[in-house]
Structure 1
Amino acid sequence: MSETRPLLEVKDLVKHYAVRGGVLRRQVGTVHAVDGVSFSLGVGETLGLVGESGCGKSTVARAVLRLVEPTSGSIKLDGTDIVPLSKSDLRPVRRSMQIVFQDPFASLNPRMTAGDIVGEPLTVHGLASGEEKQARVAELFHQVGLRPDQMKNYPHQFSGGQRQRICIARALALGPSLIVCDEPVSALDVSIQAQVINLLIDLQRDHGFSYLFIAHDLAVVAHISHRVAVMYLGRIVEIADKAELFANPRHPYTQALLASVPVADPKMKKLKPMVDGDVPSPINPPSGCAFHTRCRYVIDRCRLERPALAEAGTSHQVACWLNDGTGRPE
């Protein structure tokens, strides 16, 4: 992993959706899907982004790639802010950033062969055609553990793990520097998950690209990530090196996430839940710290002021008015 410069810099990223109602479809509210997210991703690094369903992880992934338009904020890829770029100016930049979606079946065109699917980016960007394209597609199939003779098969003729390998091959076709993985193994069996994760690690070692890895499975994140960012209700509440975050979680929400991981030991006493209640609505998020409605360490300041990410050690940032979530003020 290189630490010389960031490949991706996201600052104050915001994505709001209008809620409309009534006969005239007037705006009656706003969904705060992503509400001021900032992070960086180094060359050859994997940043894991975790959190409960609905916290905004996938919206961040799509906004970073301009698949959804950000409401505000900046997204710098290799030093260039891609937010103000027009569609025509963005087109060559898209070669440097690709995505692997969660559902490997829904993200593949059932009417195209696997070879045509993987080779389509080469055609769209005018990089190869004819025999040259076929040779490149065959090489990509080999890289992801598929046979070149399978290029003529259709998506329904592959297993779930094989379909995800096709998606990975398609993402590799243009030689990107950034690959966004939006829960790429959550739809797969556990045994197949390990194979796909190991494939991603091997490909990163061979090609040196960076991953923004979205997941809710902490075991998967611990296996593939260099750093981990924790999201809650549209904001990052903690970000740290993987080993540091798992050994010394500072934010109460991160502590609750780690405490909720099942332990394969029937003799171990089950921990008492660390949080109560449900996640607040992103249409009407709480004032101050969004987690204060469920936090056991809440103080008055939490209800009134929203904490920003602050240094909490070497390569460790946390957005909490309490230094380590134990009830002791800073």
Structure 2
Amino acid sequence: MAELVKRQHYVPRTYLKHFSEQSGDKYFIHALPSEATGADKIFISNIANVAFERHLYTLPGETIEQQMAVEKLYSEELEVHYDSIYEILTDPDKTEISPKERELIISTVVTMYYRTTKWVNASRKLMERVFAGAYQLCEQKGVDYFSFENEKFSIAGKNLEEFTKEFNKERQPGMILIQLETAFKLIALRILNDSICVNKIEGENLEFVTSDNPVVAKNNTPERFAPFDPANTLELPLDSKHKLVLIPECPQELRNRIFRRTSTAHFSEVEKLTTNYSQMQNSEKHIFGSKKALESYLATKQESERPIQDGESTADIFKKLKELGL
């Protein structure tokens, strides 16, 4: 019999456990609030208690099966395969994969990009601004209703917060389904085009972190960046030493190959700094990793995130980072 899952994880626990410490059958991860600047804000949590939202994917329906359709798809069609995908991607001797493995890898990354709360929260905040203006207009006109997208809405007996919360709750299932539909369309395109690359960093004190929005999209033309552009490069840290990168425009004869690169010395430092900075920028609430990795991030945060000054070289930056103990 199907079970109604209330706490729905938008970052899979099968993913987070590879940044965690195991204790018995439980996994614990260190977390840092995105806006924090001090190591005293780092805390440790069971991965079951981070990166979730109650009823995020729950759909309307008469049966639990109908209500849990999206949650079931993520858990039984994608998350169940993550450990095998992880083993493939982090095995240095694995350079060729099957078409099915390729599809699973790309599907996992794309759905992880779309399933987080980032897109839903952006829509929620937009509607908060829209309705704030509508309420103000209603007060000026002395009416208790307004029209939005050719539909009439009554605000009688409701304050702005109550109305907005109710509206967003009603439209959330539709947003979740649109995200899923968009993900499926993008998966089909990226299966035809992407190169699968795994970058590894070497260095005892160098570690990747991740976040509650772990897939980072990048483009060579940031001024025209579109989140859903199939030409974007997608990056996902796999653990403290490995990062998966999906790069478009792969020749057909090389689609089932994994391209591997190991960075050492300064190149590892650059990879770690830029990847961790991207995770911080992309996060909504928390970044995750080992305590050492989060402390290292904080130690170099101010220097690594400030704008480059005129006449300053990369060597100058590395020198300052070395002085900070990187």
Task: Point out which structure has higher relative CO (alpha carbons under 8 A, 6+ apart).
Answer: 2
TM-score by length of 2: 0.23
**Larger strand proportion of the pair:** 1
**Larger helix proportion of the pair:** 2
